[in-house]
Amino acid sequence: MRDRAIAWLAENVSAHRLQHILGVEQMCIELARCHRVDPLKAAQAGLLHDLAKFFKPTRLLEIAKRNGLEIDPICQANPHLLHADASAIVARDEFGINDREILDAICNHTLGRPQMSPLSCIVFVADALEPNRGKTPELEAMRQVSWQNLYKSVQQTCDYSLKCLVDSNKTIHPRVILTRNWALQIVKKQMEKATCNS
């Protein structure tokens, strides 16, 4: 499957995006080993997360409608946000992926989702932090956290994405805020527990 997926990606995304995807795949494997998640599932989700990245808005809307996805007003105005759901549909239809957890991790890679699985958390943070994203001190510090605390890393990734969206004057999909609040709540509970035990 991997070779076929890479050949498919080479035809359907840019060389730069393919590098990013391979970086996500590798970081997913390493994070999965670190956080005791199935590395095979993580590798597949990482490799397939951006299959529909270069699909045109009309195609994304058409795929979403055909598959009965709910298209909220923000996705309607910015169909590119549907590339995550569309990638999961391509993963299922072109590559025979039927594992719900893998498909969900692909769907959740851009906006996250409250209560998402550890596998989804891994793909969400790897998408933002894989090495090709750059070597700024902020990203390097976030990478450190990703090995130590997956939920803290989800929260930081949401904060980072929110800052970028505000700075570039973009409409913000509220699901990333819900994801951030969910992860923050978990981190706060972890801290309370650590204080109680000390």
Q: To the nearest whole angstrom, how small is the minimum distance from the Cβ of residue 35 to ligand ADP? A: 21
Per CB under 6 A, 1 contacts ligand ADP: no
Instruction: Give, as ranges, the residues between 123 and 142 that touch ligand ADP (CB under 6 A).
Output: 127
108: amino acid identity, one letter = N
Count of other CB atoms within 10 angstroms of residue 153: 27
At 36 the three-state DSSP class reads coil
Stretch 18-57: interaction string toward ligand ADP, x if CB under 6 A:
----------------------------------------
- Cα separation values, 186 from 6, 42, 149, 164, 194, Å: 36, 22, 11, 24, 12
* Binding test (CB under 6 A) with ligand ADP, winner from 12, 59, 80, 139: 80
Instruction: Give, as ranges, the residues between 98 and 117 that touch ligand ADP (CB under 6 A).
Output: 110-111
Of the pair 73, 96, the CB lying nearest ligand ADP is at 73
Distance CA 117, CA 145 (A): 18
Q: To the nearest whole angstrom, how small is the minimum distance from the Cβ of residue 21 to ligand ADP? A: 9
Count of other CB atoms within 10 angstroms of residue 63: 21
Distance CA 186, CA 198 (A): 18
Stretch 151-190: interaction string toward ligand ADP, x if CB under 6 A:
----------x---x----xxxx--x--------------
Of the pair 19, 149, the CB lying nearest ligand ADP is at 19
Tokens standing for residue 9: 């990606």
Distance CA 151, CA 144 (A): 13
Tokens standing for residue 112: 């996250």
Of the pair 106, 150, the CB lying nearest ligand ADP is at 106
Count of residues in the chain: 198
Instruction: Give me the residues that bind ligand ADP (CB under 6 A), please.
Output: 80-81, 110-111, 127, 161, 165, 170-173, 176
